[in-house]
Amino acid sequence: MIPRLHAPTERKIQYSLKASEFGDKLPIIPSDSKVQRGSVLFRLDLDIVATRDGAPLANELLQFRVSWPQSHARLLTPTNSAGKATLRFETRHAGKNTVFPLMQGFSNSAFNIEITEAWYQAPFKITAYNCCDEDDFTEPLVEAKGVGKHKKDFLFGGRGVIMQGTGLGSDGRYIQITNPKSLSWKPHYAGVSNPEAAVFKYVDNVHGTYGVVEADLSIAFDPEILPPHHRVNIVGPRALGERRGDDTGGGIKGHHFDNYVGVGRSAMQAWESAGGNIVSAKVKYLGK
C-alpha cells in the first residue's frame, strides 16, 4: 500500500494598524507611562487575523515577540470565531520594530512597524515664563556680589533674578544667580530674607537646566514625561508648533509644559494677547 501524503499545514497572520483615539494610526504615549532610560513608551494596537489552510484559527491565545529588546506584543484576548483579535504592541525604541509569532509553522507572518512620532494620550497644560528685564523694575540700586549695582527688586524680588534664575540687566548683560539654594524666601515670595548671601555672575544668554533657552522654542518640562532636548508639536486648541525640552521647574510636574516667551514684561503681554495659558492641549511627540 502506498502511504497517503498530506499537504503541509499553512498558518498565516495578517496584520493591520488600528486607528487610535486621535483618528490616525500613529502610536500613543499612555497617560500613566514614565520616561525610562531616556525613552518614552510607545503603544500601538493592531488587528490580526490568524488562519490555518485559509480557515479561521479560532480560540487561540497566540504568542508574539518583537525584534527589539525590551519590546512586547501580546493578544488582549484569544482569537474569535473569525480568527480575529487585537494585538497590543509596546516599545521604547523609535525606529523599525518587527513583530512575529513565537510558534513555528507561520509563514510570511512578520510585520514591520516604523515609529517616528506619537500622540501623548493625556492632554497638557501649557503656561508661559519669561526672563526678567531690569528696565521693568523700580526699586533703588543695591550692591550685589559678582555683578555690582542693580535694582533691588530686579535681583531679589519675587519676579526677579533669584526666582527666575536669569535676568537681563539694564546694561544689556545677562545676570544669573549662582547659589539659589542658600537663600530663604519671605512669606508669599516677597523677596529673600538673606540677600547678603546671594552671589551672581554674568552669563552670555538665558540658561535653563539643559543649556541655553530660546524664545518660542524652549519649554520647561517634567523629565518623567519628556526626555531632555526631545521635541514636541503643540497642536491645539491654539497651535504653538514645535517646542524643545530645554529646562525644568519646581512647579512643572506631569503633563505640563512651560513655554519660554523671551525677555521682559512685553513678552508675557504678547502671550496673554495671543490667548494666554492653554488648559487642555493636544501634543505630538517628535523625538530628538
The pLDDT tens digits of the residues spanning 225-249 come to 999 999 999 999 999 999 999 999 8
Residue 83 C-alpha cell reads as 480568527
77-81, 162-166, 216-220, range with the lowest pLDDT: 162-166
Domain 124-128+209-287 fold is: Barwin-like endoglucanases (2.40.40)
Q: What is the model's pLDDT at position 263?
A: 97
Q: Is residue 56 a contact partner of residue 74, using CB atoms and an 8 Å limit?
A: no
Q: What residue ranges do the domains of the chain occupy?
A: 11-120, 124-128+209-287, 133-208
**Mean pLDDT of the chain, nearest integer:** 94
Q: How far apart are CA 40 and CA 117, in angstroms?
A: 11
Q: What is the model's pLDDT at position 3?
A: 56
Q: pLDDT at residue 5 above 80?
A: no
Q: Percentage of the chain surpassing pLDDT 70?
A: 97
Q: What is the model's pLDDT at position 2?
A: 55
CB atoms within 10 A of CB 186: 12
Domain 11-120 fold is: Immunoglobulin-like (2.60.40)
